[in-house]
Amino acid sequence: MSWQSGLMRLVWILLPLLACNTPSPEFSGVPVTRVIVGKSVFDVRMVGDRAEAIRITHEWAPDLSYVVARFARAFEAASGCTLRPNSMRGDQVVMQARLKCDIPRHSNPFPERRGLYCSGFETTPGMMICDEI
């Protein structure tokens, strides 16, 4: 086996691992908050009034209408803010949204959290568990 074929084999093995939970460039390096809503687990990152959530649970081909409500709950639980109307864009795995916050988020990326749609409690720093309503 040549070194090129070995390198290609390694690339094909590592390629799926690189895309598992990689944020878009504008959210790269931003602290993550893990939120559980029902059976879905999301990693949420926020910059100013923008947020990105990545669904990291394996659910076989969920319908977009099924996961949109869970994305919305994850955004609001992680940020303590509400969503701007018609601001969510994305697919079943990665969604971005604009937030409407009562307090400025520029100085504090993680304001005090409020359980808006979730009856959740913080179990460990950066992780919140919410029950489906």
Helix (H) or strand (E) holding 118: none
Buried b (16+ CB within 10 A) or exposed e, 2-34: eeeeeeeeeeeeeeeeeeeeebeeebeeeebbb
Domain boundaries, the chain: 27-130
The matching CATH number, chosen from 2.40.10, 2.60.40, 3.40.50, 2.40.50, for 27-130 is: 2.40.10
Which range among 12-21, 93-102, 106-115 shows the weakest confidence by mean pLDDT?
106-115
The percent of residues in the chain predicted with pLDDT above 70, rounded, is 60
pTM here is 0.65
Higher pLDDT, 79 or 8: 79
Amino acid making up residue 68: V
CB-CB neighbours of 54 under 10 Å = 22
